[in-house]
Amino acid sequence: MYKIQTSKDLSGEVKISWSKNAALPILAATLLVRWKIKLHNVPKIGDVLTFLEIIWTIWATHKFDWNTLYLDTTHLDISWMNVDMIKKIRASILLLSPILHYFWNISIPFPGWCSIGKRPIDAHLNWLRAIWYDYKTLDSNIKITGKPNSWDVVINAWFWVTSTENLIVANVLRPWITTIELAAIEPHVMNLIDFLRIAWADIKIRYNHTIIISWVKELKKEVEASVISDYIESWTFMVLWALASKEFIDIKNARIEDLYSFIAKLKEAWVKLEDLWWDILRVYRSENLKAVNVQTNIFPGFPTDVGSPFMILMTQADWVSKMHEILFEWRLNFLVELDKMRWHTAILNPHEAMIFWKMDLKWSEVTSWDLRAWAAMVIAWLIAEGETRVTKIEYIERWYENFVEKLQKLGAKIEVVKE
């Protein structure tokens, strides 16, 4: 269990870890390379370690040297694949493309929903069918078979992230040309494209979210690449420093070009911050916050994954603010729990909520939601009056590397208590 006490005098600097949402699709793409890959900046967090466990069962072996991962995907064999583990993480859907490319069939359980929404996979299956794989749903499993066709295909991705990633990986070795319209271009999608280009894939990107993939006969054998820093962690910490730093805190390894929409929103809310140099952001303690309305959007708009921490910031603003979450129908549910902290919110519908102005938060027991909401709750507990006892904070370690240790180094009063 963790005991969290009010901590509004944090100081020092924090280095942003590497992105889970970038590492996962790249790990899937290494299975396409079928050789030795050296991947720098791989976060050692729950979902990544689970993904590595799954691909180990198809003989994709690996070893870590700090955050550098040495992978060997030469000899893949799906005979002993542990398909039950696929249900553990949503991102396992990314295994479809490389495995189908080499084995032409796979039967997997539905990756399942989660606490932010239904998370359907119909688009993944329809687009795989568009390049010739066929699928049948048998109870809670999906059986996909077939060979990729050899003619030009145009597919619409509706800006969906892992579906775009699955489509990119499914087509770099498929003859002939694949055009993905309305593709997602989040930083982690671009990181995947960078990795595949290093491996000699022919991928072009147009300004209008169109990705054009031309067939290459084979990929480069020895590939070395790097994972980018986690812009979602950067945004989460920017909120925390605005509310709980003594004077200011520096954020290192923040890819500022990924943060423009969030920085604009924070400035609109009168948060004081400075873009120093070499991707260092200095965020100052900001007392007189202005209530602002937010609508989440596709990148480079305001991302859905930082809506929850931003709503914590708005609890300390001077008036009523409104959150419009365009994507996930259950993302706002965690607000219900926050009423226990004397924080008045109104969920208007699955996609809109109002946050009422400045309240002194009182801690409360919580139930579990999505992991981004958990990170937001840590911010709420650190600025709330009183002591909070939390029994499930290890959830956060699934998606944020050394999250609690980083906060403790800055002076946050988070104590690990044996239950």
Q: Which residue, judged by CB position, is nearest to ligand EPZ in the bound state?
A: 123
Among 92, 191, 304, 315, binds ligand EPZ (CB under 6 A): 304
Asked if 372 is part of the footprint of ligand EPZ (rule: CB under 6 A), the reply reads yes
What are 225's strand-pairing partners? 39
Among 34, 62, 90, 265, binds ligand EPZ (CB under 6 A): 90
Tell me whether residue 305 or residue 401 sits nearer to ligand EPZ (CB atom). Answer: 305
**Residue 220: HSE in the Cβ half-sphere, 13 Å Cα cutoff:** 14
Task: Give CA–CA dist 207/225, Å, rounded.
Answer: 25
Task: Give CA–CA dist 179/168, Å, rounded.
Answer: 10
Tell me whether residue 91 or residue 249 sits nearer to ligand EPZ (CB atom). Answer: 91
Token pair of 151, please?
A: 């003619």
**Least gap, CB of 414 to ligand EPZ (angstroms):** 22
Asked if 18 is part of the footprint of ligand EPZ (rule: CB under 6 A), the reply reads no
Contact, 151 vs 132, CB < 8 A? Answer: no
Contact, 205 vs 184, CB < 8 A? Answer: no
**Least gap, CB of 43 to ligand EPZ (angstroms):** 12
Strand bridging mode 36-40 / 223-226: parallel
Among 18, 231, 248, 328, binds ligand EPZ (CB under 6 A): 328
Q: Is 117 left (phi over 0), alpha (psi -120 to 50) or beta?
A: left
Residues 153-192 that bind ligand EPZ (CB under 6 A): 160-163
Tell me whether residue 123 or residue 361 sits nearer to ligand EPZ (CB atom). Answer: 123
Contact, 189 vs 209, CB < 8 A? Answer: no
Tell me whether residue 94 or residue 273 sits nearer to ligand EPZ (CB atom). Answer: 94
Task: Give CA–CA dist 27/29, Å, rounded.
Answer: 5
Strand bridging mode 352-355 / 321-324: antiparallel
Asked if 377 is part of the footprint of ligand EPZ (rule: CB under 6 A), the reply reads no
Of the residues 49, 78, 114, 280, only one is catalytic, namely 114
Asked if 261 is part of the footprint of ligand EPZ (rule: CB under 6 A), the reply reads no
Among 24, 199, 266, 355, binds ligand EPZ (CB under 6 A): 24
Residue 40 burial (CB < 10 Å; 0-12/13-18/19+)? middle
**Least gap, CB of 227 to ligand EPZ (angstroms):** 13
**Least gap, CB of 329 to ligand EPZ (angstroms):** 7
Residue 177, CA distances (Å) to 118, 146, 189, 215, 363 in order: 32, 19, 19, 6, 56
**Least gap, CB of 297 to ligand EPZ (angstroms):** 10
**Least gap, CB of 306 to ligand EPZ (angstroms):** 9
Strand bridging mode 273-275 / 281-284: antiparallel
Tell me whether residue 115 or residue 408 sits nearer to ligand EPZ (CB atom). Answer: 115
Tell me whether residue 12 or residue 120 sits nearer to ligand EPZ (CB atom). Answer: 120
**Residue 103: how many CB atoms within 10 A of its CB?**
15
Asked if 39 is part of the footprint of ligand EPZ (rule: CB under 6 A), the reply reads no
Asked if 91 is part of the footprint of ligand EPZ (rule: CB under 6 A), the reply reads yes
Q: Is 114 considered catalytic here?
A: yes
Residue 367, CA distances (Å) to 201, 390, 399 in order: 45, 10, 18
Task: Give CA–CA dist 384/138, Å, rounded.
Answer: 49
Among 7, 17, 21, 345, binds ligand EPZ (CB under 6 A): 21
Asked if 327 is part of the footprint of ligand EPZ (rule: CB under 6 A), the reply reads yes
Site string for ligand EPZ, 108-137 (x = CB under 6 A): ---------x-xxxxxx-------------
Q: Roughly how many angstroms between the first and final C-alpha of the chain, as a whole number? A: 6
Q: Which residues bind ligand EPZ (CB under 6 A)?
A: 21, 24, 90-91, 117, 119-124, 160-163, 304-305, 327-328, 372
Catalytic residues: 114
